[in-house]
A and B are shown apart, each in its own frame.
Chain A
Amino acid sequence: MEAVVAIAIGTLTACGVFLMLRARTFAVVLGLTLLSYAVNLFLFASGRLMTGAPPLVRAGAAYTDPLPQALVLTAIVIGFGMTSYLVMLALRALAESGDDHVDAKEPEQ
């Protein structure tokens, strides 16, 4: 399971970084989204990977660390809000310049 999660995080990060370096805002937004998925998975794995264990501490029973789950929840909410704002901003840049290049210039009169 560790190998699968590690490969998933690595692939998501690589795709995210590649897309972030593109010159079109749409690709950049997609890249940031992939990167945030990778980060969320990474945070989740920082509490160690366990299967079939509840995030509740009980004496004697197996449990998984609940804190990273709370951290991931926070990170997802923040990332979601940021991405939606970025999409709005990209749309506004598109509307104002008629081009979705990240270095959009004023349209020629």
Chain B
Amino acid sequence: MTEQVYYEDIEVGSEIPALVKYPTTMQLVKFAGASGDYYQIHYDKDFAIANGLPGIIVHGWLALSFLGQMVTDWLGQEGTLLKLSGSYRGMNNVHEDVICNGKVTRKYEEDGKNLARVEFWAENPAGEKTVTGNAVVSLPSR
């Protein structure tokens, strides 16, 4: 595990460690089973193409799960995720990297808590932002 991040360690503009995931068709099938989302565009290539898609595409919720992992990995055991939002703007194709990045855009105290807002995004290998969103977290103080 990485070292615990503290409120005093961050400032607006601080980047959080990136995460790169490589979803396979098998992973999408597992996610379909685990989430109950059996829409065929996520595992049936013929169906996806007949629906005007380039091929099998990654569930939006799965891409958001990668972003969620990036944030909770960074938060460590003592940080708490309060809000997570994602907007699905483009497609992540199966068998392509999903590149997750994020940075702190606000740092503030509210109701005795040390809070930070993180803007994040996922990109495909073409450099297109496929998911954009943000998280609100509370961090421990030193």
A and B: real partners? no
